[in-house]
Chain A
């Protein structure tokens, strides 16, 4: 069982659809993150949750709505997305806040989102 699991791995949705991405970590970490990876762009930090509390929202449009019900689960709710939102969405976790003691982030394999 991998440390950070993301589902679904691939998602195709229309601009009027509502869908959710799920992330689960089995590492006992306290912090979880959503990153967006677009072609030819740096990894963009979207949201940070520390002990279930959102500590960072990096000016993300409201059509992306995160939810962190507990330290092990993180969701990204999607609605009325645009084609330019097509990207690989990566979830990560760490022990402690914002990189924690070692600064090491553990990533999932990502959810590849295509918006038609």
Chain B
């Protein structure tokens, strides 16, 4: 069964600090996809990134970077030089790849990030 754990419920940082959001997942499949979504106060979840299980290369997009480690089943998300606009709830999610297609996303409980000016 799939499971996503985000152990950090809430994090507060001062603007310009770096912050890492942790995500640990469980799956029995060898082919799966990992995601990060951002939920600002307006409510809608915004897609940030998707990684497949065969691509462990870390990715950087502006101030965002992701560290995928299959050995520890982790997919951590780092925001460099955080800004107040980064304040949101961040969700990690997992989808397994079956012969019939991908399973619907299973989400972690989310981490609420507050960036203080």
Physical interaction between A and B = yes
Interface hits, B63-106 → A, CB 8 Å: 91, 95, 101-106
A40 to chain B, nearest CB (A): 7
Interface residues on A, range: 20 to 34
B104 touches A56 (CB 8 A): yes
Q: Which residues of B contact A107 (CB under 8 A)?
A: 37, 44-46
Q: Which residues of B contact A66 (CB under 8 A)?
A: none
Identify B43's interface contact among A41, A56, A109, CB under 8 A. Answer: A109
Interface hits, B22-81 → A, CB 8 Å: 33, 35, 37, 42-47, 50
Q: Which residues of B contact A100 (CB under 8 A)?
A: 102
Interface hits, A100-116 → B, CB 8 Å: 100, 102-110, 112
Q: Which residues of A contact B42 (CB under 8 A)?
A: 109
Q: A99-B95, A103-B95, A104-B50 are in contact. Are A4 and B102 (CB under 8 A)?
A: no
Q: Which residues of B contact A103 (CB under 8 A)?
A: 33, 35, 50, 95, 102, 105
A48 touches B104 (CB 8 A): yes
In whole angstroms, what is the CA distance A96 to B37 when docked? 19
A90 touches B95 (CB 8 A): no
A109 touches B44 (CB 8 A): yes
In whole angstroms, what is the CA distance A104 to B65 when docked? 18
Interface hits, A10-56 → B, CB 8 Å: 33, 40-43, 45, 48, 56
Residue A97 interfacial (CB < 8 Å): yes
Q: Which residues of B contact A104 (CB under 8 A)?
A: 35, 47, 50
A111 to chain B, nearest CB (A): 9
Minimum CB distance partner of A45 in chain B: B104
Pick 21 A–B contacts, CB within 8 A, sort by A. A40-B9, A42-B4, A42-B107, A42-B108, A42-B109, A43-B91, A45-B105, A45-B106, A98-B95, A98-B104, A99-B103, A102-B50, A103-B50, A103-B102, A103-B105, A105-B105, A107-B45, A107-B46, A109-B42, A109-B44, A112-B43
**Which 9 residue pairs are nearest across A and B when measured between Cβ atoms?**
A43-B107, A109-B43, A107-B45, A110-B43, A99-B102, A109-B44, A107-B44, A104-B47, A42-B109
